[in-house]
């Protein structure tokens, strides 16, 4: 496993000062090896002892060993930069989906799907890039005959939240788990004792600790991580997974809803031709 991957995978177990070192390394991946111990400590705004502890947590005995391994990786990375960007994006996406599948708790997915089937309302929320998978999830649920709800307007979203009951459920999308608007939703829902599911990349994020269930995504940090589009597509995968499993449990309702949608589309097409 590369140093870059080890830093990302261990990010949540680092102390706050070690996370500053990790963030600097991820954001300046190709430049870190050129720093002395004291220079890296200064740039990461921490002490030299913190840097050494950071190195040991990712499997290096000393900062010197860390630099040697990183130098070798950097050279390989610079060489691979000329590779097809098409392949790189595909590999990032594949890695993200595979990580998500490996960390799925299928019993938990079934439990969530059962709750979604019994719910009067399935409220989906997310802002920014996470708003698209939230909206897609609600739309897919409606096509399956469920009462999926999504609001782009945060004001109407807050108003609607106060109408939800214990018999409802909310699916909250946030790649970082630190979106203020989504955290606010979770706080209101917790007060109203509404079951909540978060789709995020950190089980210790502010959002995750407020929710009843957490579906874990791969964390992408730094310029080499693939960015928000990779996380967005992975969230879409979870939205598809939840809506599909919910439909499988109640196949009769799902089939009827799809037939109704199909009949409506055919009728609309006929009218447009006239």
Provide the pLDDT for residue 108: 96
Provide the pLDDT for residue 107: 96
Q: Find out whether 118 and 167 touch, Cβ atoms under 8 Å.
A: yes
pLDDT tens figures, 174-197 = 988 999 999 999 999 999 999 999
Average pLDDT over residues 160-180: 93
The C-alpha atoms of residue 263 and residue 274 are separated, in whole angstroms, by 17
Specify the pairing of strand 213-216 against strand 195-200.
Answer: parallel
Domains of the chain: 3-82 (1.10.10.10), 93-265 (3.40.50.10490)
Provide the pLDDT for residue 68: 86
Helix, strand, coil abundance in the chain, percent, nearest 5 = 65, 10, 30
Q: Which range in 4-13, 114-123, 252-261 is most confidently predicted, on average pLDDT?
A: 114-123
The C-alpha atoms of residue 105 and residue 180 are separated, in whole angstroms, by 27
Extract the tokens encoding 111: 């439990």
Q: What pLDDT band is residue 79 in, cutting at 50, 70 and 90?
A: low
Average pLDDT, the chain: 87
Q: What are phi and psi of 178, to 5 degrees?
A: -125, 15
Partnered with residue 171 across adjacent β-strands are 124, 197
pLDDT tens figures, 126-162 = 998 899 999 999 999 998 899 999 999 888 888 899 8
Judge if pTM exceeds 0.85: no
% of the chain residues with pLDDT over 70: 92
């Amino acid at each position: 496993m590369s140093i870059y991957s080890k830093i990302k995978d261990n990010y949540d177990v680092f102390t706050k000062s070690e996370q500053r070192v990790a963030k600097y390394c991820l954001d300046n991946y190709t430049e870190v090896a050129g720093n002395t111990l004291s220079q890296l400590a200064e740039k990461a705004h921490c002490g030299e002892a913190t840097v050494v502890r950071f190195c040991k947590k990712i499997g290096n005995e000393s900062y010197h060993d860390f630099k040697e391994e990183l130098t070798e990786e950097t050279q390989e990375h610079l060489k691979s930069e000329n590779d097809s960007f098409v392949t790189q994006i595909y590999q990032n996406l594949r890695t993200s989906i595979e990580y998500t599948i490996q960390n799925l708790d299928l019993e938990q997915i079934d439990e969530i799907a059962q709750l979604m089937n019994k719910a009067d309302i399935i409220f989906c929320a997310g802002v920014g890039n996470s708003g698209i998978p939230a909206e897609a999830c609600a739309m897919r649920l409606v096509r399956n005959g469920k009462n999926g709800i999504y609001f782009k307007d945060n004001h109407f979203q807050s108003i609607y939240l106060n109408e939800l009951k214990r018999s409802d459920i909310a699916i909250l999308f946030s790649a970082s788990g630190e979106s203020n608007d989504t955290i606010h939703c979770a706080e209101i829902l917790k007060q109203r004792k509404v079951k909540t599911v978060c789709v995020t990349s950190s089980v210790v994020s502010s959002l995750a600790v407020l929710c009843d269930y957490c579906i874990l995504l791969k964390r992408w940090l730094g310029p080499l991580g693939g960015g928000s589009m990779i996380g967005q597509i992975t969230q879409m995968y979870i939205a598809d997974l939840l809506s599909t499993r919910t439909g499988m449990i109640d196949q009769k309702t799902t089939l009827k809803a799809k037939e109704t949608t199909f009949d409506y589309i055919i009728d609309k097409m006929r009218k447009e031709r006239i």
